[in-house]
């Protein structure tokens, strides 16, 4: 009786071991090591010169105007794109969910931009936003001045935000569609018999029913948007005048250009705390909304 | 008389509703088709720019339909060496990571679905933490680890840390839970070992879930950027997105013909994979959401 049990335990360990090893080396160790680093002065070019500095990396971040600038830009990016993307993808999902022809065409067509690398998307839009690019030409057509949209500190971040909405709404549309299709048709039938029109049904049936998926969409999009990096790396590198400097680009710049890896680890942990707070707030707020709706 | 009028009104109302529905469907379809066209336009623009001759890129930056299309931009970026190399690197790295996930993620997923063991709760919490914590936190230590062990610019560095993805573990374990237990028990009574039960019964039965894992892992890995960027610094070891991004930084920053050709090389394989396997891809994405 003892034998098969122990062999089963052994095989469980065999099944788990590849993950255990990789998790330990490439996840758990880095996670702890980066917390340690955040209390150190650490330059990989002179590792022997590293020493414990207490909380001063965090203090340095709070005192650095560029840290605040990058956080502010990131917040503008998140608060500007997430609601717009959510709104567009919800409406689009409702539209595609109607009884219309070509539904599968829409479902896959709108999704295509989200499988394409952000690097590629950034290059395409860099051209569109250039002084001789299409956006300038269209603006010219309406009597405006052509300009370098990414070279202007007042428009650069907005341009990248618009691109992000374009590149990502198809993904969230698919999620909303899945949520809409999970609503039992009897509920719609009942709403129709009760004489709820299209908008009434939308407001009193559809929106409350897709609240869990809305929560999911908002939370994962927020987490993703806080980490905006590739767009900045390819299109502006934080410029002009730091107008597109985001938190992760700031962090990357400190860690891999100035080699202030202790400081950068502290910034990474601060960013993590900000993201965590946002996610918890959203969960609380959107859950409360559901409770109030019931 | 009254009766006839009544019928007529009824008929008119009914056909009125029909027309209205039809008009609405038509309007909605037009709107959606227009929106779809404008969504796909930037990608069309990429391809259109890439097949234009160099002279016409400079002369007329806006040219909706390329006159005298040519493939010389593609030949240039392909023959210039790095892009062919980037392409091979991307294919190889993605393939290894996909295979690793198929094997290792399903092993863990199976253990979580079917086994009771001490520390199971810890394992689940650990996997969730991999989903929750932003990658930027482990970026610096991972870089230090890889460079300390002289693994910079190796395929090992580009694949090893990504062989077991947390999301894939969940997908597999969800699927295995839904499988009937009887087959495995029957095989065990017949004297099959744990390993042969896993490889001969569980894996073949999990094929639909494995397809989702393979395709989604490919999708994510093909476009992966941050880690390949920091774990490589030689041209030979760059993957396609990283190579493309760095190519766009230097002297080629406004060389749109070559840049869009490189971009198309990066985008087309993934769009093809999506179009062929879209059902699995969408399944994988919605699996995490609708629960």
- pLDDT tens digits, B96-125: 999 999 999 999 999 999 988 888 999 998
Q: Are residues B23 and B80 in the same domain?
A: no
- Has residue B107 been placed in a domain? yes
Q: Are residues B27 and B87 in the same domain?
A: no
Q: Where are the alpha helices (DSSP H) in chain A?
A: 2-23, 29-37, 56-63, 65-96, 103-109, 118-128, 134-141, 156-181, 185-193, 198-201, 207-209, 211-226, 230-235, 247-256, 261-293
Q: Residues 133..192 of A with a Cβ closer than 8 Å to B: which?
A: 133-134, 137, 166, 170-171, 174-175, 178-179, 182
* CB-CB under 8 Å, B43 with A128: no
- Has residue A279 been placed in a domain? yes
Higher pLDDT residue, B241 or A290?
A: B241
Q: Are residues B152 and B27 in the same domain?
A: no
Quick one: tokens of A34? 């980066």
Chain A residue closest in CA terms to B106: A15
Residue found under tokens 């609601």: A83
Sequence-distant (6+) residues with CB within 8 A of A225 are A77, A78, A81, A82, A164
Number of domains comprising chain A = 1
- Has residue A122 been placed in a domain? yes
Q: Where are the alpha helices (DSSP H) in chain B?
A: 2-50, 54-59, 72-79, 82-100, 106-114, 120-132, 136-148, 155-159, 166-178, 182-189, 194-197, 203-205, 207-222, 226-231, 240-247, 256-287
* CB-CB under 8 Å, A124 with B222: no
- Has residue A130 been placed in a domain? yes
Q: Which of A77-91, B15-29, B30-44, B177-191 has the lowest mean pLDDT?
A: B15-29
* CB-CB under 8 Å, A37 with B270: no
- Has residue B60 been placed in a domain? no
Beta bridge partners of A52: A40
- Has residue A169 been placed in a domain? yes
Task: Residue B61: list chain A partners with CB under 8 A.
Answer: 130, 132-134, 137
Q: Is the pTM of this model over 0.80?
A: yes
- Has residue B58 been placed in a domain? no
- Has residue B271 been placed in a domain? yes
- Has residue A40 been placed in a domain? no
pLDDT at residue B8 above 80? Answer: no
Q: What is the mean pLDDT of residues A210-226?
A: 89
CA distance A69 to chain B (A): 19
| Domain span including residue A279 | 56-293
Residue A52 has phi, psi (to 5 degrees) of -70, 130
* CB-CB under 8 Å, B136 with A44: no
**C-alpha–C-alpha distance, residues B195 and A110, integer Å:** 43
* CB-CB under 8 Å, A120 with B289: no
- Is some CB atom of chain B closer than 8 A to the CB atom of A39? no
| Domain span including residue B255 | 72-287
CATH code for the domain of A127: 1.10.3720.10
Chain A residue closest in CA terms to B224: A117
CA distance B5 to chain A (A): 26
Chain A residue closest in CA terms to B115: A12
- Has residue A153 been placed in a domain? yes
ipTM above 0.90, yes or no: no
- The pLDDT-based confidence of A243 (bands split at 50, 70, 90) is very high
CA distance A249 to chain B (A): 10
Sequence-distant (6+) residues with CB within 8 A of B74 are B50, B261, B264, B265
Task: Residue A238: list chain B partners with CB under 8 A.
Answer: none
Chain A residue closest in CA terms to B108: A16
- Has residue B64 been placed in a domain? no
- The residue of A8, A123, A139, A210 whose CB has the most chain B CBs within 10 angstroms, and thus the best one to mutate to test that interface, is A123
Tell me chain A's radius of gyration from C-alpha atoms. Answer: 24
**C-alpha–C-alpha distance, residues A187 and A180, integer Å:** 12
Q: Are residues B231 and B263 in the same domain?
A: yes
- pLDDT tens digits, B185-241: 899 899 888 889 999 999 999 998 898 899 889 988 999 999 999 999 998 999 999
- Has residue A11 been placed in a domain? no
pLDDT at residue B58 above 70? Answer: no
* Residue in A115, A130, A179 closest to B290 by CB: A179
Q: Are residues B110 and B140 in the same domain?
A: yes
Are B104 and B164 in contact by the 8 Å Cβ rule? The answer is yes
Task: Residue B135: list chain A partners with CB under 8 A.
Answer: 227
**C-alpha–C-alpha distance, residues A235 and A150, integer Å:** 8
Number of domains comprising chain B = 2
* CB-CB under 8 Å, A127 with B32: no
- Has residue B141 been placed in a domain? yes
How many beta-carbon pairs below 8 A join chains A and B? 255
- Is some CB atom of chain B closer than 8 A to the CB atom of A198? no
CATH code for the domain of B116: 1.10.3720.10
């Amino acid at each position: 009786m003892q034998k098969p049990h122990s062999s089963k335990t052994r095989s469980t360990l065999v099944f788990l071991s590849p993950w255990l090893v990789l998790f330990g080396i490439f996840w758990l160790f880095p996670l702890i090591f980066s917390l340690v680093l955040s209390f150190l002065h650490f330059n990989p070019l002179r590792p022997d010169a590293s020493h414990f500095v207490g909380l001063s990396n965090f203090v340095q971040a709070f005192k650095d105007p560029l840290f605040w600038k990058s956080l502010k830009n990131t917040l503008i990016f998140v608060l500007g794109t997430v609601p717009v993307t959510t709104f567009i993808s919800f409406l689009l999902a409702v539209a595609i969910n109607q009884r219309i022809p070509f539904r599968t065409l829409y479902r896959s067509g709108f999704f295509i931009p989200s499988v394409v690398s952000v690097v590629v998307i950034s290059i395409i839009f860099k051209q569109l936003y250039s002084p001789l690019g299409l956006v300038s030409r269209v603006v010219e057509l309406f009597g405006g001045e052509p300009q370098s949209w990414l070279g202007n500190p007042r428009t650069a971040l907005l341009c990248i935000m618009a691109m992000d909405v374009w590149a990502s709404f198809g993904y969230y549309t698919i999620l909303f569609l899945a949520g809409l299709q999970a609503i039992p048709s009897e509920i719609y039938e009942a709403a129709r018999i009760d004489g709820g029109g299209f908008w009434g049904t939308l407001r009193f049936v559809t929106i409350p029913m897709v609240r869990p998926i809305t929560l999911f969409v908002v939370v994962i999009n927020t987490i993703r948007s806080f980490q905006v990096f590739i767009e900045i790396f390819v299109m502006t590198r934080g410029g002009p005048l730091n107008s597109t400097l985001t938190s992760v680009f700031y962090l990357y710049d400190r860690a891999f250009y100035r080699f202030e890896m202790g400081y950068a680890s502290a910034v990474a942990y601060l960013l993590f705390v900000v993201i965590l707070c946002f996610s918890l707030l959203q969960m609380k707020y959107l859950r409360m909304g559901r409770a109030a709706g019931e | 008389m009254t009766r006839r009028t009544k019928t007529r009104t009824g008929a008119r109302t009914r056909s009125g509703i029909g027309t209205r529905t039809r008009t609405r469907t038509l309007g909605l379809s037009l709107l959606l088709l227009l929106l779809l066209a404008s969504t796909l336009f930037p990608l069309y623009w990429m391809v259109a720019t890439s097949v234009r001759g160099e002279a016409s890129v400079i002369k007329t930056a806006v040219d909706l339909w390329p006159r005298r299309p040519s493939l010389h931009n593609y030949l240039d970026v392909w023959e210039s060496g790095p892009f062919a190399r980037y392409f091979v690197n991307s294919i190889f790295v993605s393939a290894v990571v996909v295979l690793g996930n198929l094997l290792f993620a399903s092993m863990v997923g199976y253990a979580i679905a079917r086994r009771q063991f001490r520390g199971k709760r810890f394992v689940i919490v650990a996997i969730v933490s991999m989903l929750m914590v932003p990658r930027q936190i482990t970026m610096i230590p991972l870089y230090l680890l890889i460079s300390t062990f002289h693994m910079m610019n190796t395929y090992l560095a580009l694949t090893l840390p990504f062989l077991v993805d947390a999301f894939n573990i969940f997908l597999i374990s969800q699927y295995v839970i839904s499988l009937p237990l009887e087959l495995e028990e029957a095989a065990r009574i017949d004297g099959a070992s744990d390993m042969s039960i896993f490889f001969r019964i569980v894996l073949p039965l999990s094929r639909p879930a494995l397809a989702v894992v393979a395709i989604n892992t490919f999708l994510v890995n093909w476009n992966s950027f941050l880690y390949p960027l920091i774990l490589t610094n030689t041209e030979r070891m760059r993957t396609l997105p990283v190579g493309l991004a760095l190519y766009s930084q230097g002297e080629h920053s406004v060389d749109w013909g070559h840049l869009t050709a490189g971009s198309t090389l990066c985008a087309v394989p993934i769009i093809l994979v999506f179009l062929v396997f879209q059902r699995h891809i969408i399944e994988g994405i919605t699996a995490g959401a609708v629960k």
